Amino acid sequence: MRRPFIAGNWKMNNLAADTASLINAVRPSVADVTGVDIAVCPPFTSLAAAAHALAGSNIMLGAQNCHWEPSGAYTGEVSPQMLIDAGCKVVTVGHSERRQYFAETNETVSKRLAAALGAGLHVIVCCGELLSEREAGNKEQVVESHIRGGLGDLSPEQMSSVTIAYEPVWAIGTGVTATPEQAQEMHKFIRGLVGEMFGSGVADNTRIQYGGSVKPDNVDELMACPDVDGALVGGASLKAESFARIVKFQAK
């Protein structure tokens, strides 16, 4: 049985004081939650405040990206070792906004992933298609390129520290959510790919999150899908009440 994993991606939001306030509001609301892994991923400048506010809680600290080198002349970048030093347990790589705005590629995703795993972080690897790619009938090819290009160099053992997040780009921040049927179809496809690459045992144990306008009023239906193992939550994770309700999903 795969343990559900709900993570909040705060993107470029919240100063340090806002971060502490939000975490202090979320903590008591989810303190009684068991059987679900929970993480929040604030911006780099708020990691220290977040680590302090999260101390002793059941919420893990995550970051939104990392470089593939441990140190060096990479102005503006943050290494996996720096994230661990800040208290992080989790990092996301390959988010569609990184691909869209910052020239992220399957190759750089693969390098970031390997470096993060090597440093001891749990990694959420994102994949997902544009609306134009879905409408052209290429959604599986795009997602397969992300999965094989990003995860292809890993060993089966390393996959135990990887969560895959399927985020259809057309549903991110748009208010449009993939239907449970659409989400389940793609998650099943992704699990099949993982099985081809690493074996059925690894595929059965790999968690696949859904991301893309996840809200309190749709999370229950999404989490009821057999291959949806959690959520990577954007805007709804910036409000304590809505994020807590998502963490406390009621899969039927």
How does pLDDT run across 32-84, given as a tens digit for each residue?
A: 999 999 999 999 999 999 999 999 999 999 999 999 999 999 999 999 999 99
Residues of the chain with pLDDT under 50: none
Q: What is the pLDDT of residue 13?
A: 98
What pLDDT is attached to residue 251? 66
The DSSP H or E segment spanning 60 is strand 59-63
Q: What are phi and psi of 164, to 5 degrees?
A: -100, 135
Nearest alpha carbon to residue 194 among 224, 160, 170, 231 = 160
- Given phi > 0 = left and psi -120 to 50 = alpha, else beta, which region is 72? left
User: For residue 184, what pLDDT is reported?
Assistant: 97
Q: Which domains does the chain have, with CATH numbers?
A: 5-247 (3.20.20.70)
DSSP character for 44?
G
pLDDT for the residue numbered 21? 98
Catalytic residue positions? 95, 167
